[in-house]
Amino acid sequence: METLSQADIFVKNTAKTLDNLYYPKFHVAAESGWINDPNGLIYINGTYHFFFQHYPYSAEWGPMHWGHVISKDLVHWEHLPIALYPDQDYDRDGCYSGSAVDNNGVLTLIYTGNVYLGAEGDDTHIRQVQCMATSTDGINFVKHGPVLYPPEGIMHFRDPKVWRARDSWWMVVGARPENNLGEVRLYQSSNLTDWTFVRILDQAQTSAEGFMWECPDFFNVNNKDILITSPQGIPAQGYDYRNLYQSGYRCGVWEQDSSFTVQEEFKEIDHGHDFYAPQSFTAADGRRIMVGWMNMWNTAMPTQKHGWAGAFTLPREVNYNEHGRLLCTPIVELEQLRTSHDIFKPFTVTNIHMGLAQQYQEYKISFDLANSTAEEYGIMIGDGAKLFIDAQSQRLVLKRESKNPVLNTERSIPLIACSKINLHIFVDASSIEVFVNDGEYSLTSNFYPTNGDSKFTFYANSGQARVSAAEFWKLSNIYSNC
């Protein structure tokens, strides 16, 4: 039988052989192998812990383990030994997603144990239960078995998010009932081990709202209660819901009787190609911080042939504004990574390509839309991605360019009644994160430039583009051993 030490040794040995062409410099990723959902994000006993869904033995998805990294500042990270691996009857086919809480100084993980009742990988015959594990040193974990079983008639029952409020522990769990209308179920406990069903907190009303609501999260920010879900099965609608699965939020009020009154209907959190299963937590100073999986199911992943797949987005501070939007902005701590810095005076790009002399990783750029006449203008990043304003459709477009038609696609957001646009852009070895107008929108995508060339070029077609401000930084590596 596999042991934790065997898994860790395999990861360390495989990491030495990785092709690092596309491996991230300032995004959390596994040292080798597969990674998906962020799990157990928490600040406890003076340390930030991030866990993640991890298959150490391949860059393909497999029986899920929990990878583990820690940080003192949310910027520089250290890989720790794998925290959980599937070795019990109740989780033998995977330690699926979950969350972490501080129980009087004890780091406590609540996760989904997955068991295939039929053939391996057959999701039509499964058993999913919510399980507990604890650690007194933040490194080694003891499993305590299931603490919550699924209700009658429900197999898909996973991704517990646990928090403390109103003198109780609370848990939301995603579920797929027999009617295939996804739902979030709410539970309550006094001790983290004995749970009582309270109510269905929210649920799909039609099949167009998804058959399964994965990875629920529920929190209060700026005096608004936010329910986050990652629904499966929402069909594309115009420019929206173009990924296989989506992640979004509803805003409302969590009433004293524990019902949730929705005030703002579902909106996507991120509008790029690669953002899923976000989880939030409370930082040391009380800010609400969110991290997502920077990939998407059933898409091409060129890094797999290099020995790894998947990474986290940058941590984002979450707020809610008076216009009914969840604002996501890169955390201020990331400024610690900045090294060399350049700033440009306003300039005009006229029917030409204008490349930068150096390669940077962080960019702040403001386009003056009112005084730009080009039909299309923006930036190119090597031969892998373009971010541009389409003046005729009035949209900001992120286009991923590739010979692979699965990857050669674009995502976009509206620019209605905008006279200017402020862009905060992070470009890593194979990813781009774009924050628009102080977090009103974000677009996150992976891209794969030839030979890793991420040269940054301004361009304008059929007219001129006015750049009113431009500032660039090089960023250092986030790993403490680099």
Residues carrying an active site annotation: 37
CB neighbourhood size of 178 (10 A): 9
Residue 99 token pair: 């969350």
Rg over CA atoms, the chain: 22
Which three-class secondary structure state does DSSP give residue 256? coil
Name, in order, each residue with C-beta under 8 angstroms of 166's C-beta and a sequence gap of 6 or more: none
Alpha helices in 384-462 (DSSP H): none
* Nearest partner of 81 among 127, 137, 132, 38, judged by Cα: 137
* Nearest partner of 94 among 71, 116, 118, judged by Cα: 116
Amino acid at position 196, single letter? T
For strands 212-221 and 195-203, give the pairing. Answer: unpaired
Amino acid at position 298, single letter? N
Return phi, psi of residue 260, to 5°: -120, 115
Which three-class secondary structure state does DSSP give residue 14? helix
DSSP character at residue 234: P
Count Cβ neighbours within 10 Å for each residue of 210-241 and write b for 16 or more, e otherwise: bbbbbbbbbbebeebbbbbbbbbbbeeeeebb
